[in-house]
Amino acid sequence: MLFDKKAQIKFAPINGKTYLEHFSGNQSIQNVDTVILKTSNHLFIKSKAFFEILNIIGGPIKILKILSLLPQSINDFFYDLIAKNRFRVFGKYDTCPLIPNEIKFRFLP
């Protein structure tokens, strides 16, 4: 949200109502515990989702998209490594923080 100034990305929890409406019949993403990005034409998972999000939000952070030139297996390896260690690097809340009212519209059920 820090970089998505135009609020183009919306969020839905895995196994929430929105997720189940869009993905319940898609066996390729059942039991997936990672970022999934659905656009009108495509479905992106893991590092591909990350790079597509960079493409959507644009701005200076888009420079990281150059890493997409690496093989997907390498990008997914680093994606998994960062995901596995994210709490050690970024910290963890003891309780779920409240969503500020001005961005609640971005969180789907």
In a domain, 99, yes or no: no
What does the pLDDT average to over 104-109? 90
Domain count, the chain: 1
Which domain range does residue 16 map to?
1-90
Among 13, 12, 8, 90, which residue's Cα sits nearest to residue 52?
A: 8
In a domain, 52, yes or no: yes
Q: What is the pLDDT of residue 31?
A: 61
In a domain, 105, yes or no: no
In a domain, 97, yes or no: no
pLDDT value at 5 more than 90: no
In a domain, 96, yes or no: no
Query: Which range, 10-14, 29-33, 51-55, has the best average confidence (pLDDT)?
Result: 51-55
In a domain, 50, yes or no: yes
In a domain, 26, yes or no: yes
In a domain, 63, yes or no: yes
Rounded Cα distance between 3 and 16, Å, is 25
Q: What is the pLDDT of residue 27?
A: 63
**Contact between 53 and 9 (Cβ < 8 Å):** yes
